């Protein structure tokens, strides 16, 4: 007996969700094409960091409520199938619409009438209803719903239960079944029609991306005039409620914000001008930092080190991290570039102590908490995040 199968169930979205449902008493199987992640999950070892998951995974394995497999045949055994496959971008920054057609083609023999199919990752607007129609065309009587994840990576397990769940079914039965399912995780349900739910997810991520771009643009203006951006930030936000959500400067990266902003732009006939401007600011920040550093240092004669290669603080996820873009820009300018990250294993990286010792200049690529207490002596540190004890570096 299987209550829920999660396709892509050992990744950053699927695994915390599966653990949450297993904790709530559901029989969950995570299907994943990574034999390494499946083996780790079945051994009770999290493949990535997520608060509370290290303790919960062994518990739900022992209870029999959770297991992982690479075998897709288990899909047909489940009452509920949740897919966490998102819509990636192609080389022209357009959504790859064929992803969900591929899903139907690959899993046609495993799906069966009577199931509830839930799309969980971000999708291009209109995808949920197109999926429902495509399944009808294929002869299936399957309820289809879109229930987007909106959690912060690293805190997914915690936020699944703490945040409201947006639920959108393609018919009344799908809506009812999806709401009943997620009420087992949280009492806060927000019903929306599918297109509205798809836009809500894209709006959330595009809004964050644009907010970060505003902060980064303001940072560059302040820096160009030799002013500490964070002194301005403090003045703006200190006991001033209308500015309390104003973010700090830094790399706006990761697998969602940029991608979802471009999806929304494509949906709006490539006329999301704020999104395009945000992309130019955020994606241009690494090059800006290198250009300013080149004016201050003779980088061609220097070994430089990048501390932090993940896309956010205290994370082990390097996907789409702009620290790697910073590395590429520095490799053009510098004698040698060293990289270090305590959370991201990579044979090409050097240990933290070696990176610091060998570098003439250090760049903070990700604002890991540990850097706040470190003493770099007299060594120059380029810190746009305000992540070190000496604060932001004006360059």
CATH of the domain at 23: 3.40.50.720
State the CB neighbour count (10 A cutoff) for residue 384. Answer: 28
Comparing C-alpha atoms, which of 159, 161, 155, 150 is closest to residue 314?
A: 155
State the CB neighbour count (10 A cutoff) for residue 179. Answer: 17
Residues 184 and 211 both lie in one domain: no
Has residue 117 been placed in a domain?
Answer: yes
Residues 247 and 181 both lie in one domain: no
In angstroms, rounded to a whole number, what is the distance separating the alpha carbons of residues 74 and 81? 10
Q: In this predicted structure, what is the pLDDT of residue 394?
A: 86
Has residue 140 been placed in a domain?
Answer: yes
In angstroms, rounded to a whole number, what is the distance separating the alpha carbons of residues 342 and 310? 10
Has residue 319 been placed in a domain?
Answer: yes
Which residues neighbour 347 within 8 Å (Cβ) at sequence distance 6 or greater?
A: none
Has residue 388 been placed in a domain?
Answer: no
Alpha-carbon distances, residue 14 vs 10, 37, 248 (angstroms): 6, 12, 29
Residues 108 and 244 both lie in one domain: no
Q: Which of 192, 225, 248 is the endpoint of a domain?
A: 192
Number of domains present in the structure of the chain: 2
Q: 162 near 186, Cβ under 8 Å?
A: yes
Q: Is 33 helix (H, G, I), strand (E, B) or coil?
A: coil
Alpha-carbon distances, residue 393 vs 112, 244, 305, 368, 382 (angstroms): 59, 23, 15, 16, 5
Residues 186 and 333 both lie in one domain: no
Q: In this predicted structure, what is the pLDDT of residue 254?
A: 84
Residues 238 and 177 both lie in one domain: no
In angstroms, rounded to a whole number, what is the distance separating the alpha carbons of residues 247 and 208? 9
Question: What is the number of residues in the chain?
Answer: 395
Has residue 66 been placed in a domain?
Answer: yes
Quote the crossing angle between the two packed helices 127-137 and 194-224, to the nearest 10°: 150
Please report where in the chains the tokens 């964050």 appear, as a residue.
208
Apex CA 284: angle with CA 237 and CA 300, to 5°? 115
Residues 289 and 185 both lie in one domain: no
Q: In this predicted structure, what is the pLDDT of residue 58?
A: 97
In angstroms, rounded to a whole number, what is the distance separating the alpha carbons of residues 39 and 62? 15
Q: Which of 146, 161, 192 is the endpoint of a domain?
A: 192
Q: In this predicted structure, what is the pLDDT of residue 93?
A: 62
235 by Cβ neighbours in 10 Å (0-12 / 13-18 / 19+) ranks as exposed
Can you give the pTM of this predicted structure? 0.91
Has residue 390 been placed in a domain?
Answer: no
Please report where in the chains the tokens 């004669």 appear, as a residue.
301
Has residue 182 been placed in a domain?
Answer: yes
| pLDDT tens for each residue of the chain, 395 residues long | 899 999 999 999 999 999 999 999 999 999 999 999 999 999 999 999 999 999 999 999 999 999 999 999 999 999 999 999 866 666 666 666 665 666 666 666 789 999 999 999 888 899 999 999 999 988 899 999 999 999 988 999 999 999 999 999 999 999 999 999 999 999 999 999 999 999 999 999 999 999 999 999 999 999 999 999 999 999 999 999 999 899 999 999 888 899 999 999 999 999 999 999 999 999 999 999 999 999 999 999 999 999 999 999 999 999 999 999 999 999 999 999 999 999 999 999 999 999 999 999 999 999 999 999 999 988 999 999 999 998 888 88
DSSP character string of 35-69? HHHHHHHHTT--SS--TTHHHHHHHHHHHTSEEEE
In angstroms, rounded to a whole number, what is the distance separating the alpha carbons of residues 380 and 33? 44
Q: 312 is in which domain, residue-wise?
A: 200-382
Has residue 337 been placed in a domain?
Answer: yes
Q: Which of 136, 163, 192 is the endpoint of a domain?
A: 192
């Amino acid at each position: 007996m299987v209550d829920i199968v999660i396709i892509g169930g050992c990744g950053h979205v699927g695994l915390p969700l599966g653990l949450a449902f297993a904790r709530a008493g559901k029989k969950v199987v995570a299907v994943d094409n990574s034999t390494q992640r499946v083996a780790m999950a079945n051994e009770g070892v999290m493949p990535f960091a997520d608060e509370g998951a290290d303790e919960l995974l062994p518990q739900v394995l022992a209870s029999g409520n959770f297991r992982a497999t690479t075998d897709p045949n288990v899909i047909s055994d489940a009452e509920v199938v949740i897919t966490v496959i998102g819509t990636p971008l192609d080389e022209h920054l357009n959504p790859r619409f064929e992803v969900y057609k591929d899903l139907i083609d690959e899993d046609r023999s495993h799906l069966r009438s009577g199931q509830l199919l839930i799309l969980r990752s971000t999708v291009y607007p209109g995808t949920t209803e197109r999926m429902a129609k495509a399944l009808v065309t294929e002869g299936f009587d399957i309820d289809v719903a879109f229930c987007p994840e909106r959690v912060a990576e690293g805190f997914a397990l915690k936020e699944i239960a703490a945040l409201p769940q947006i639920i959108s079914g393609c018919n009344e039965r799908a809506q009812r079944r999806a709401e009943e399912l997620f009420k087992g995780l949280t009492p806060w349900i927000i019903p929306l029609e599918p297109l509205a739910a798809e836009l809500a997810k894209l709006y959330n991520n595009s809004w964050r991306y644009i907010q970060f771009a505003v902060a980064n643009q303001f940072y560059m203006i302040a820096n160009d005039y030799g002013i500490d951006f964070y002194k301005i930030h403090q003045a703006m936000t200190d006991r001033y409620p209308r500015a309390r959500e104003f973010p700090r400067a830094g790399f706006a990266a990761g697998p969602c914000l940029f991608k979802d902003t471009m999806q929304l732009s494509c949906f709006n006939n490539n006329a999301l001008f704020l999104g395009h401007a945000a992309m130019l600011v955020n994606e241009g920040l690494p090059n800006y930092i290198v250009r300013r550093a080149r004016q201050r240092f003779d980088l061609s004669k220097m070994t430089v080190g990048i501390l932090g290669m993940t896309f956010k603080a205290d994370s082990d996820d390097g996907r789409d991290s702009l620290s790697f873009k910073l590395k590429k820009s520095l490799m053009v300018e510098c004698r040698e570039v060293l990289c270090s990250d305590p959370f991201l294993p990579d044979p090409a990286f050097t240990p933290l102590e070696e990176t610091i010792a060998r570098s003439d200049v250090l760049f903070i690529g990700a604002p890991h908490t540990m850097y706040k207490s470190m003493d770099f002596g007299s060594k120059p540190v380029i810190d746009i995040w305000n992540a070190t004890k000496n604060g932001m570096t004006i360059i």
